[in-house]
Every structure is written in C-alpha cells, then in structure tokens.
Amino acid sequence: MHDLFDIDISQLPTMFPNETLYSWCGRYHQLSGNNLVTATNLQLFASRYAGLSHDIPNYINNFVDRTRNVFGTAEEIISKHSLLPFYLPFLNQEKATYIIHGIRTGSHIHTKYLLGLPASRVGANHPLKVCKECINEQEHNFGVCYWSLQHQLPSSWICHKHYLPLFSIKTTQTPVHLREWILPNKKYLNSSTFIPTLNSKQISKLDRISRFGEKTLLLLNSTFNPITLSHCYQLALHKRGMLTEQGNLRLSLYLPDLKDYYKDISTLPGFQILQSLDCTTGGFAAVISRKKPKVNHPLKHLLLISYLFKDWDSFITSYNKASNTPPTWKIHKSQDHTKTNNPLYKSLYDKLCNKHLSIRESANQLGISVTTAVVWAKEQGIDVNTRPKTIGSIKLKEITNLVKSCEDKKEICSKSKISLVSLNRIFRYNTELHDLWRYSQFSKQRDAARTSFLNILEQNPGVPVKYIRKIPGNNYMWLYRHDKTWLKNNLPML
C-alpha cells in the first residue's frame, strides 16, 4: 500500500516558504527510509517519477490528498513551490487554466511543449542554481539545505540577498532527465559549473533582470494581454523616437541601442537569445513589440522591460495606461482617401478581419489580384500570412468549428473527411488549435460531470452530500479536483 495513512503527518519535514516542491520531496525521501525513489514518489504522488520534476511538478492533486493538505491547496503548492507562476502571466487565461488543470491531475506529459519552451530558443531545462552564502545560512539556521524557488527562474543569476552570482550545478544527468533527488550541498560547489567571473556591470544588469523576474511570481491569477503589452512597449519606444509616425518599429535605431544595452551579458549562458538581435529582422525584440505580437517566453519580455522601463512599477503603470489608451498612431494613420472610399478596399478589411478569410480567398471574391490585396491589407494595418498553406483555409475553418463544438478526434475526422494522421499533423503545426481542442475536451468532461452531479442532487432531494458521494456516477471527486468553485456554489444547503 503506497500511501501515507500509516505515517504521522506531523512528522513530515517543514516546507520552507521559498522552497521548490522538488527540494522538499528530496528531503522527505532522505527521512523516509525508502531505498527507492519510486517508492517515495508512489507514496507522495501515486506516480513513479512525478516528484523528480525539479521545475514544473505533476500530479499535485494526489500530493495534496496524500499529505492531507498540510502544505496547502494544489493552487498554493503550484503558485508558491513551482516555476509555473513565472510563465502564467504571459499566457492567455484559458491556456493557463488548462495547464494548471493538467499539472494538478497529471494529464499533461508535455507541459513544457504547451508552454512553448522548446521552441522559444531560451531553453527548457532550468539548470539547478544555488547561492553559496544562502546554503551556508540554511545549514546554520535549519541544519538542512534546500533549493530556493527564486534562484531557479530562468531570469535569475544573482542572489539579491547576498548580491552574489548563483552557481549552476553540474550533474551527471541533465535536469530534465533526473532520476534521483539532488539537494544543494557544498560538495557540488567545488565541481560546479558557472558563468565566468563577472564584472560589476554584468552583476548589476543580471541583478536587475533577476529582480524583475521575481516580480512575475507575484502576478498569479492575472495575465498580461499580449496586444496591450506590445502597446505598452510601443509607447516607451515612441518616447525614444524609435517608432515611425505610423507606429512601425525603427529597427535601425532600436536594435543597435538594445544590443549595446545588453552587450555585457549577451554571451553569458542563459542569455543566448540576445544573439537573435543580430539578425536584420530584429529577433525577439521585434516579435514581441510589433503591432501584432505572438505569445513568447517571459525572459524575452523581461529583457525588453528591463531595457525600456526605469523599474517594475513604471512598467506596470505604463501597461495599465496602455490598456486604457491604445496608442493614437493606430487611429491617426495617414490614408489615401481615394482608396478608402473604394468599397472593395473596405470589403477587404471585413473579409480578412471579421470573416477571417485568407488573403487569396478575399482577393478572389473581390475580383482583385492577391498582390493588390496584400498591399491594401498592409496599408490597413493587417498582418497577412502569404506563405503557402498545406490545408485550405475553408477546411481549417471547418475543423476549427468542430473543435469548438467539442467534437472528439474521430468525429472531427468523419465530419471533415480527413484522416486521423492529417488531423494530428494539423494539430502539430497549429498548436493554438491543438490547445483549443484539448481545452474543449476538458470543457466537455466538466459539463458532463456538472450535469450528472446536478441530476443526482435533483433525484435525491435533502440527501446529505456524504451519501450523494456514494451514489455511482456522482462525479463529486472529479468536480472537487477540477471545478471546485462551481462545486462549492452548487452544493445543497443542508
């Protein structure tokens, strides 16, 4: 029996406020007397390796159940003891909810792909990092050493408390493949690998980015809107004269200045992304600050925020201002009135932005060439993708509608007359659609659970919940784990 019910919960080691869950599990394993890490994992998570994820853990609901909530709710464990809160503010709310659901239940085996880490070029490994002085203090004060959450963030390379560079631990395994718990220990400091000796300029710049990164941990439950975020950057760039009158980036001014700002740290480990600024298209800086930005890695945002704003509060003030007042250059664009009076010119906007047709279909319907349509679209501030598509946009729209209708894969294939292989390929290249499908499946499951729970309540008026929970198909536990707020609001008042 792999559970904790025969263990005195009061004997579990303390989880320090800034300690990662991985770190606590490692300390628990040492005390547990278990020979095998899998035995400890099964005890804590009902999963053989869940507790070995040093950055973003899994099966948190099981952990909370088995430790009987002594360390808080699943949300509290995720927000205070995992790296996920670093990423959540830069995702949209739906995706964030979906990822949290997966981490709680263990239903995602590729959370890092959902977060877009492998494709980000920042890295997905999260090397284990430690401050030499911090572990001296921990050992002296508590008799144990642990991994500090703040030090594990991709933006953290300086310990604020001691203003010292962090050591990156060298292990025989890459952190992503850990098969045992590693705890910070002085012996690692001797064989550690870390960035070269830093000068004061480098430390100052890294310290600033580290501090900004830690601010993101306080933003759980609120997410930045990527469009507002780009407006916020544009307002700051505008003040520096780095935008054209139409609000386009003046890359010839912007890039050299940004590169110069980061020249001291662009070759350091963890900051290779700064080298993308060497390309003429502007690399990540252009991608996240243009009018139609894409969701991107938090470190890229932090690098831009650190460059553009005096401090974190100034950035937040500017973000709030941008959300209330979009930049005026979007409204005051100079336009050729002969064209704007042309009904085809207006219709093109409607077809692309309201009806979401492709540029080719819009051009065909209006009887104009694709080249003209592209020029007109760009004049109206619409980003058009002129790359050839492997699937027609009408078919893609049909599939999107089926996804939105919560159809399962078999039904989508049957109704849209495509093979499962094709559907999987579409999902692979269209991650947003794939995420939408996964979220729709979750919504379907949630709605079915709500309905059956309400039906059972209706059929058993006045019956206490503890008996309702024994009725087959009641779904109480599922709702408790995934839809707690709704469940609380719908429990009978007895």
Interaction site with Zn ion (CB under 5 A): 131, 133-134, 159, 161-162
Of residues 131 and 220, the one with the C-beta less far from Zn ion: 131
Query: Min. distance of Cβ 105 from Zn ion in angstroms?
Result: 35
Residue number, 198 or 242, with CB nearest to Zn ion: 198
C-alpha dist (Å) from residue 326 to 228, 322, 334, 377: 8, 5, 17, 21
- Specify the pairing of strand 167-168 against strand 129-130: antiparallel
The minimum distance between CB 152 and Zn ion, in angstroms, equals: 13
Which residues fall within 8 angstroms of residue 397, CB to CB, at 6 or more apart? 356
| Minimum distance, C-beta of residue 210 to Zn ion, in the bound complex (Å) | 11
Of 147 and 262, which has the nearer Cβ to Zn ion? 147
CB closer to Zn ion out of 159 and 285: 159
- Rounded to a whole number of angstroms, the minimum distance from the CB of residue 433 to Zn ion is 44
Count the neighbouring beta carbons within 10 Å of the beta carbon of residue 165: 21
Nearer to Zn ion (CB atom), residue 130 or residue 413: 130
- CA nearest to 297, candidates 86, 451, 108, 487: 86
The amino acid occupying position 66 is: R
> Nearer to Zn ion by C-beta: 53 or 210?
210
HSE of 326, CA atoms in CB hemisphere, 13 A: 10
Measured distance CA(443)–CA(441) in Å, rounded: 5
User: What amino acid occupies position 490?
Assistant: N
What is the Cα–Cα distance from 485 to 479, expressed in whole angstroms?
9
Report in angstroms how near the CB of residue 137 gets to Zn ion at its nearest: 7
- How many Cα neighbours within 13 Å face the side chain of 417? 1
Q: Which residues contact 184 (CB under 8 A, 6 or more apart)?
A: 128, 130, 135, 145, 146, 147, 169
Give me the least distance between CB of 156 and Zn ion, in Å please.
11
Q: Is 62 left (phi over 0), alpha (psi -120 to 50) or beta?
A: alpha
Closer of 163 and 467 to Zn ion (Cβ): 163
Residues 6+ apart with CB under 8 A from 307: 258, 261, 262
CA nearest 6: which of 36, 33, 37, 38?
33
Beta-bridged to residue 159, according to DSSP, are 164
**Which DSSP symbol is given to 351?**
I
Closest approach, Cβ 35 to Zn ion, in A, equals 34
Q: Which residues of 12-34 are buried (b: 16+ CB within 10 A; e: fewer)?
A: bbebbebbbbbbbbbbbbeebee
Whole-number minimum distance, CB 131 to Zn ion, in Å?
3
168-202: buried (b, 16+ CB within 10 Å) or exposed (e) per residue? bbebeeebeebeebbbbeeebeeebebbeebeeeb
d(CA 124, CA 450): 36
- Give the helix ranges, DSSP H, for 83-144: 84-87, 93-105, 111-114, 117-120, 132-142
The smaller minimum CB distance to Zn ion, of residues 133 and 336, is found at: 133
